[in-house]
A and B are shown apart, each in its own frame.
Chain A
């Protein structure tokens, strides 16, 4: 399986085999994309050319026998949200509501967009939660046809947040902080499901949330619990996980609360083949989405 991720201007990919229910990594590569590819125009006619330039390196590195391609794209490519829906509505009504909601939100872009929804298990919540993803039809078509032209099978495409979530899902209430270039991304979990995400900030060892997508109340209450933790305290009722070395002021926070934090290394659970060679300066913790995609093949 070839797992490809595009996030924050980086192309990361890994080729792996599943041997005896274990993932064996054959390659693990990260390449910085040139600035013109950081925010491509999803509705441009030339998008397939842009995709070709970006992805050809990964496809060339893929052995001929490998046909499965899985992709994870960040919010520059795929819009991703967690939307509340009234519990009283049945499945058809929910879909009609979501379509209406998205139509209003997208406006003139609505006709050229493809929408995808999936129900989140939300028994304990007062509302139903639905994950919703929007991608330009043109981008989706270009991506699919490019992969097929390369004689590969486009198996899976998901927003990067879902790939990351697969890596750090916790059963109880919990939050996972991911290093995302120079910022930090927080994913909030409850009952084993992703319920909210956003970009937190830190000042004087106090975390605050800016924009939150999903169950805002849950995210705020979890952050409040995290802030209440003192460096010397031993009790903690929430799972706090970090992926990668968090930048800037987060470093001091992480070092003072080591006992409460669990450091997750995305590819530590995978076997590495002998021929694997990592470029100098490659940070393995940046391969969260790639690891998430690979974990999918085990489920």
Chain B
């Protein structure tokens, strides 16, 4: 890849300034210039960024906590945000209508409709339910909330009258972070073992390779299930969280390790690596300065593509009831509550967590594809 100067016209098209001539562009910046052309990947990256920021500040963004119940809204549907009321008058401050509950005389189901007589104006940055930001700072301001005595449920409520929107946000914090933490572990394991195999070769290489082959033969879901079932029941939710992360990454590192090994094997024979050794650079320096930078972009791309597997793993385990358990809220835990087909029939808004899983996984895949293409323009499905 070294002999590529620039993708055609990148200097002009990508808005390189005159001062910054093509000659002085670093490979990293070249990668960014190529990545910028993948609109879909860029949009996915932005979407994920927003999602992660929302999840990081979910106490502030969510109007309610995960256990706050609203007895007036059991299994209530999502609310619409309005600017115009029933009489057609415009309100600068958006509002939602209160629920009007009726029990269907035939089915004995609670049915909700908008009570157009009662408006709940939405207040931004207003005081609402008190909470502790990151379990540290007591606060009571929310991004949006409604006045005391009124309520807002953008995604509806669950059978206990808890706000789905808030729960999806809190669940996102767990599900999204498990992906990142798991991938960090995966990367550490993958680079370490793949690096050892690729750099040392010989016996180490054979041992690591056999381990990878054995691990890849095992069907992952039953194994995850067995391992999660082995987690002690009395563990705190935090311990279970880390237990699950470790279980997921224990099987996730193999693909990355193979890649790293392959790169190491190829790079070890590169002349610039030999040149570095002949200069007198010791092994750590050769690896750090000459080998790792040559495939760090590939690692980033691979890692990005590995996050969705982690998120799906957590979701699958929790969905089956053997991963995280209530009172911890994750997308998988939320979907566990929506396992019953009746739920899909009668209260489909309880599937919102599933929608977020789908969107997140898709965004990560698109972002990863874009990064991979940008890192290596000669890979299949490169730039269009």
A binds B: no
